[in-house]
Amino acid sequence: MRKRELAQIHIAKAQLGLDDDTYRGMLWTVARVRTSAELDHVGRRRVIEHLHSRGWKNEKKRVRTPDATYAKKPLIAKIGAMLTASGRPWEYADGMARHMFKVEKAAWCDVRQLRKIVAALNYDAKRKQGENG
């Protein structure tokens, strides 16, 4: 928490364009300290609130990691459909995952691995079609 608050203070200092003398003067006026390292929790909160009152906006750029399960759902559904069409159980796809990637279950594979399983099932379907056709 301390590191984050100190980082916010220094980011605000840079964004507001405060020179060192102005910054240290503000620290003394708001919290009666000479450096941000001397700030306690209450002091850090006061300084952050003061910087907000002076126009600093804490715009966090949150990077949202993609939901892996959301990305995998269409591929899992496709694998299920391909298994059903070929009359094979899910254990077949699990066996492929074990053989190809050393992963116990196909559902535990990442998107890249699932695409390879789809390609292998597609290859298998074409091979079976050639035998019957």
**pLDDT per position in the chain (133 positions), as tens?**
889 999 999 999 999 999 999 999 999 999 999 999 999 999 999 999 999 999 998 876 655 545 568 889 999 999 999 999 999 999 999 999 999 999 999 999 999 999 999 999 999 999 988 877 6
**Alpha carbons 75 and 110: distance in angstroms, whole number:** 10
Contacts of 15 (CB under 8 A, 6+ apart): 56
Q: Tokens 């399960």 sit at which residue?
A: 69
Query: Helix H segments across the chain?
Result: 2-16, 20-31, 41-53, 68-86, 90-101, 111-132
Instruction: Please tell me the pTM assigned to this model.
Output: 0.49
Q: Are 71 and 109 in contact (CB under 8 A)?
A: no
Query: Domain spans of the chain?
Result: 2-53, 68-120
For residue 7, the number of C-alpha atoms closer than 13 Å in the C-beta half-sphere is 6
